[in-house]
Amino acid sequence: MLPLIVLPDIPAEDHLLARARQGDQDAVMRIYESYFAPIYQFIRLRVGDAQQAEDLSANVFLKLVTALRGQNAPRHSLRGWLFRVARNEIADHYGRARQLPLTTLDDWLPASADDDPDWRFIRSLDVERARRALRMLAADQQEVLVLRFGQALDLQATADIMGKSVSAVKSLQFRAVATLRGILGALQTEAAHE
């Protein structure tokens, strides 16, 4: 299992971003050091290949440096901006029409003490059946589960990254978990009849 990665809090993030926008190279390095691991992990979970994930992660930070030198630098929500760029890199890598693959469930879930019912459900899954079921979900349902449970991001951060409202993310997560439960039920029934 991957460790839970703790991201900087929003005020510290905004301060770092303001310094980076003013050309402070130490701030740019701190951003890289703080966000490379979560961005890499997010991409790695979607592309499956470590080298490809490193290359795509490097592209995300190259785009940040380029944006900081121009007029396209994020003004707030650095986290959301980085994950959106990462999401676009993944989509460009696979082509926008293709469903994105997920790696194994045991790599996908971080350690968490969260007592949320959805967390308990996700953790209780039989790994092999869960892998099959996750691949049957729509790409946006896979993504919301990866962000919420794989990256342990809160609703607002997930909404920012996905370009949706918090209520839309809640609804998508609810549908994704419900669909996952249904698929797993069908797979369990199928396995019982074999």
Predicted local confidence at residue 183, as pLDDT: 87
| 130-150 pLDDT per residue, tens | 777 877 888 888 889 888 877
112 and 148 co-located in one domain: yes
Print the domain residue range for 37. 10-94
Examine the fold and report which residue of 48, 64, 94 is the final residue of a domain before the chain moves on: 94
Half-sphere exposure of 8 (CA within 13 A, CB side): 20
Nearest alpha-carbon partner for 82 in 46, 32, 48, 47: 32
- The enclosing domain of 129 has a CATH number of 1.10.10.10
Stretch among 33-37, 75-79, 153-157, 173-177 having the lowest mean pLDDT:
75-79
What would the DSSP string read from start to end of 128-177? HHHHHHHHHS-HHHHHHHIIIIIS---HHHHHHHHT--HHHHHHHHHHHH
Q: Does 50 have pLDDT greater than 90?
A: no
What's this model's pTM, rounded to 2 decimal places? 0.64
User: pLDDT > 70: what percent of the chain?
Assistant: 75
Give the CA radius of gyration of the chain: 18
The answer to the question of residue 4 being in a domain is no
Q: In this predicted model, what pLDDT tens digit does every residue of 154-169 receive, in sequence order?
A: 898 888 888 899 999 9
In a domain, 141, yes or no: yes
